[in-house]
Amino acid sequence: MAKKFDEMIKDGELTAAARLLAIELYRGGKVGHTRKLLIECLAERIERFEQRGFWITEAEYLRVNRRNFNLTDACEYCININNATKNSPRKRYLFCPMCGRVRG
């Protein structure tokens, strides 16, 4: 006997529950084929994500979150902002749009 939607969620079978939800909404006429496919594709991506695992190194974390740290290394764009004229709109940037470094 097939599990019901609530049982799947309680058992942690979220992707199976999402697929069931997509089918039920499609058969009930609440969503079209494209939205049904979207839900199914997202469930597929989550399964692949869980199979492969997601690990991020400290260097990658710092690169992604540079805005949160006041790091001193300036990228080329930071140097160009510093060398821009006084009236340049780039001088008003609070953060470098390329590396996220805090401007100050």
| pLDDT tens, residue order, the chain (104 aa) | 578 888 989 998 999 999 999 999 999 999 999 999 999 999 998 888 778 776 666 677 766 666 555 555 677 888 888 888 888 888 888 777 777 777 76
**Number of domains the chain contains:** 2
Residues 20, 47 share a domain: yes
Give the pLDDT score at 84. 83
Residues 48, 12 share a domain: yes
10 domain-assigned: yes
Q: What range defines the domain where residue 46 resides?
A: 5-52
16 domain-assigned: yes
58 domain-assigned: no
Backbone angles phi, psi at 5, to 5 degrees: -55, -50
Residues 68, 45 share a domain: no
Residues 43, 72 share a domain: no
| pTM of the complete model beyond 0.75 | no
Residues 69, 48 share a domain: no
Distance, in Å, from the CA atom of 43 to the CA atom of 41, rounded to the nearest integer, reads 5
Burial of 80 (0-12, 13-18, 19+ CB in 10 A): middle
